[in-house]
Amino acid sequence: MTAAVVRVRLRLPSQTLKEKRTIVKGVVERLRHRFNASVIESDDLDSAGYATIAAVCLSNESRHADEQAQAIAAAIEEWRLDAEVLSVETELVAL
């Protein structure tokens, strides 16, 4: 079994944590529903201008897990978010 982990760091146009929460919540819910993955805001919790979102998906085949991770990363970059994608990291972990 393989776990694919995707971490995306975003620069947000928000000035307050409440504005940030609105943007991040939308991205997290969209990813959960579209890819059936576990998604959280994993870092930059107290920063109104930045967010780090992590998504994890499991598969019996490493190739499928990698494809899912790449699809998640591509979806975030393609969506017309009011956010700038600063970095995207993917990692495969054999379990």
Separation between Cα atoms, residue 7 and residue 43, nearest integer Å: 10
Average confidence (pLDDT) per 10 residues, the chain, 95 residues: 94 93 92 93 92 95 93 88 89 92
Task: Report CA dihedral (87, 16, 29, 38) to the nearest 10 degrees.
Answer: 60
45-58 pLDDT per residue, tens: 999 999 999 999 99
State the residue range of the domain holding 46. 2-94
- Chain centroid, CA 55 distance in Å: 5
Residue with tokens 């990291």: 89
* Number of domains within the chain: 1
Rounded percentage of the chain residues whose pLDDT exceeds 70: 100
CATH code assigned at 59: 3.30.70.1120
Separation between Cα atoms, residue 18 and residue 9, nearest integer Å: 18
